[in-house]
């Protein structure tokens, strides 16, 4: 039985004002997705996770939805076994469903020699996001597939990317708080139904600064655009002491900070040539701890996208 193993990274989406449009692929953590297949007279899909769960002929998971979509489109009749080795924390705003969706799409493309472009890979991977959150959003999967900073245009589906500036570090802090079931779907339900023109203008200005900052390689400019007057005010209620923690990051030297995806993780951007990322991490975790909230945190950078790790 042949096998393909794909590594797909975590991602952080929105970057404040870029809701459903901006994302960065992180250097780590990365999920590992292994695909094996053998001849069969019918299509059989088996999904296994390193936490012990197994699903047979099921598309209730992100990875399963992607396998089913690709196999149906290309009329693949095989016994397909997928194992997802989870290293990305699940349900905290770091694109765990996107990583498994991307990893499976890349593995199916390589294993069955489908010749899919990156846009086609995204169009299949997004079915995993729909299964996980009830919405087809491309930001996390673009960050995970392609790495770097990604700007997504959905109709027609295209992405534009920039590498990170030299010295740009990423601090991720995840508070240990209780979250609703299907958290991403719930977080999307909090979004405002109407938008004031002034807030639209403000967010366009902020988003433009983020893009300009990546284009110029200017961490400070990127940080100055990480605000949000539309989505963040609606979602920050999910994260206790959000404003205080964000302020602590800025006071410790972060260029900017934002809710990672649907949260509750907070991502801070730091120019490590000017400030110490570990100092920012310490300030944020201590701020949460002061209010009795335990956290998990790490320092990383913007990294490359999904890659074939093993092929036999």
pLDDT per residue as tens digits for the range 227-280? 999 999 988 989 999 999 999 999 999 999 999 998 999 999 999 999 999 999
pLDDT per residue as tens digits for the range 82-116? 999 989 998 899 999 999 999 999 999 999 999 99
Residues 62 and 121 in one domain: yes
Q: What is the CATH number of the domain that holds 42?
A: 3.30.230.10
Residues 219 and 126 in one domain: no
Q: For this structure, is 184 an active site residue?
A: yes
Catalytic one among 34, 61, 127, 129? 129
* Distance, CA of 173 to CA of 14 (rounded, Å): 16
Tokens 């719930």 sit at which residue? Answer: 186
Amino acid 36: pLDDT: 95
Domain that holds residue 10: 2-162+303-311
Task: Tell me: pLDDT of 294 over 60.
Answer: yes
Catalytic one among 61, 83, 159, 184? 184
Query: pLDDT confidence of 180, banded at 50, 70, 90?
Result: confident
* Distance, CA of 150 to CA of 306 (rounded, Å): 14
Amino acid 20: pLDDT: 93
Task: Tell me: pLDDT of 56 over 60.
Answer: no
What's the total number of domains in the chain?
2
Residues 145 and 179 in one domain: no
Residues 94 and 176 in one domain: no
> SS3 of 66, please?
helix
Task: Tell me: pLDDT of 146 over 70.
Answer: yes
Residues 156 and 7 in one domain: yes
* Distance, CA of 225 to CA of 257 (rounded, Å): 10
Q: What is the CATH number of the domain that holds 249?
A: 3.30.70.890
pLDDT per residue as tens digits for the range 4-46? 999 999 999 999 999 999 999 999 999 999 999 988 888 888 8
Residues 116 and 234 in one domain: no
Residues 56 and 133 in one domain: yes
Residues 30 and 120 in one domain: yes
* Distance, CA of 270 to CA of 207 (rounded, Å): 18
Residues 199 and 155 in one domain: no
Query: pLDDT confidence of 57, banded at 50, 70, 90?
Result: very low
Query: pLDDT confidence of 186, banded at 50, 70, 90?
Result: confident
Tokens 């200005």 sit at which residue? Answer: 205
Amino acid 189: pLDDT: 77
Residue pair 165/219 in contact (Cβ under 8 Å)? The answer is yes
Residues 297 and 307 in one domain: no
DSSP label of 79: E
Task: Tell me: pLDDT of 65 over 90.
Answer: yes
Residues 269 and 295 in one domain: yes
Task: Tell me: pLDDT of 157 over 90.
Answer: yes
Q: For this structure, is 286 an active site residue?
A: no
Residues 28 and 149 in one domain: yes
């Amino acid at each position: 039985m042949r096998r393909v193993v794909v590594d797909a990274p975590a991602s952080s989406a929105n970057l404040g004002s870029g809701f459903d449009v901006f994302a960065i692929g992180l250097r780590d953590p990365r999920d590992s997705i292994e695909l094996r297949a053998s001849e069969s007279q019918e299509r059989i899909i088996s999904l296994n996770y390193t936490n012990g769960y197994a699903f047979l002929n099921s598309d209730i998971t992100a990875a399963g939805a992607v396998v089913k979509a690709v196999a149906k489109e290309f009329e693949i009749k095989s016994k397909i076994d997928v194992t997802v080795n989870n290293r990305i924390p699940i349900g905290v705003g770091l694109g765990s469903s996107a990583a498994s969706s991307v990893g499976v799409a890349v593995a199916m493309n390589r294993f069955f020699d489908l010749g899919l472009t990156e846009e086609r890979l995204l169009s299949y991977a997004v079915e995993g996001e729909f299964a996980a959150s009830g919405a087809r959003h491309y930001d996390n999967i673009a960050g995970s597939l392609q790495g770097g900073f990604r700007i997504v245009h959905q109709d027609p589906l295209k992405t534009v990317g920039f590498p990170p500036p030299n010295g740009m570090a990423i601090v991720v802090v995840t508070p240990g708080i209780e979250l609703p079931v299907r958290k991403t779907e719930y977080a999307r339900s909090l979004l405002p139904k109407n938008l004031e023109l002034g807030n639209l203008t403000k967010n366009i200005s902020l988003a433009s600064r983020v893009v300009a900052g990546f284009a110029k390689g200017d961490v400070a400019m990127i940080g100055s655009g990480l605000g949000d007057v539309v989505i963040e005010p609606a979602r920050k209620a999910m994260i206790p002491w959000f404003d205080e923690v964000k302020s602590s990051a800025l006071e410790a030297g972060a260029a900017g900070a934002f809710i990672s995806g649907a949260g509750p993780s907070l991502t801070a951007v730091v120019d490590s040539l000017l400030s110490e990322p570990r100092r920012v991490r310490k300030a944020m975790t201590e701020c949460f701890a002061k209010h009795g909230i335990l956290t998990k945190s790490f320092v990383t950078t913007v990294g490359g996208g999904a890659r074939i790790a093993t092929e036999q």
